[in-house]
Amino acid sequence: MEKIFNNKRHQLSAFQISLLGIILGLRIALGFLPSVRIEPFVQIGFGFIGAGLSGILFGPWYALIIGIFNDIIGALLTGQNFFFGYTLSAAVGGFIYGYGFWRQKITLKRVFLVVLVITLFVNLGLGSLWVRMMTGKAWEVFMGMRIIKNAISLFLNTAILYSLFNHPIIKKYIQQYQF
């Protein structure tokens, strides 16, 4: 891992550091957008778009770092209680997006598999564990609704990311600015 950050070939330019800051700002801004609610089953936010962009542009390690900063800054700006578990989830999610998308051909199958791993491991796995720890509620109380919500958002998130990353203008900028 040390080679990734210290190798001259992988040092970030001032432009790339600025782009990291812009992507972080975008992730924070997307977190403030109102969630789309399809009662009573689904509440869909837009933060995953910024996570996907950070992964496709900068790879797993920088997307992990952006995820950590996004969670901490978002908690500070909203005044919500900080919980390290959600920071870990944001970091792992960024890493998975980066690992799955960075310097890869973006096919529907690839996007679906990356979103599926995040849905199962980060959202349903870690996220449900954090809900259980924070609320003390029994698994049966909230897991049914979480499974339905994540099943629906799996397909919506896949469609949105696939469409976004394959849009000709976005695709051009990804190829131009990918680290």
pLDDT in tens, 146-165: 888 889 899 999 999 999 99
* Per-residue pLDDT tens over the stretch 20-51: 999 999 989 988 887 776 554 456 788 899 99
Residue 177 banded pLDDT, cuts 50, 70, 90? confident
CA distance 64 to 5: 13
* Per-residue pLDDT tens over the stretch 66-121: 999 999 998 899 887 888 999 999 999 999 999 999 999 999 999 999 999 999 99
pLDDT of residue 33: 83
Residue 116: count other Cβ atoms within 10 Å of its Cβ. Answer: 14
Residue 60: count other Cβ atoms within 10 Å of its Cβ. Answer: 19
* Per-residue pLDDT tens over the stretch 3-18: 444 455 567 788 889 9
Token pair recorded at residue 9: 């070939």
36's enclosing H/E stretch is: strand 36-38
Q: Is residue 69 part of a domain?
A: yes
Q: How many domains does the chain have?
A: 1
Q: Is residue 162 part of a domain?
A: yes
CA distance 88 to 93: 8
110: containing domain? 15-177
Contact 131, 143 (CB under 8 A): no
pLDDT of residue 92: 97
Q: Is residue 4 part of a domain?
A: no
Residue with tokens 């996907």: 52
**Total-model pTM:** 0.86
| CB environment 117-140: b (16+ within 10 A), e (fewer) | bbbeebbbebbbebbeeeeeeeee
Query: What CATH number did the domain enclosing 78 receive?
Result: 1.10.1760.20
Question: Which residues contact residue 16 at a Cβ distance below 8 angstroms, ignoring those fewer than 6 apart?
Answer: 58, 179
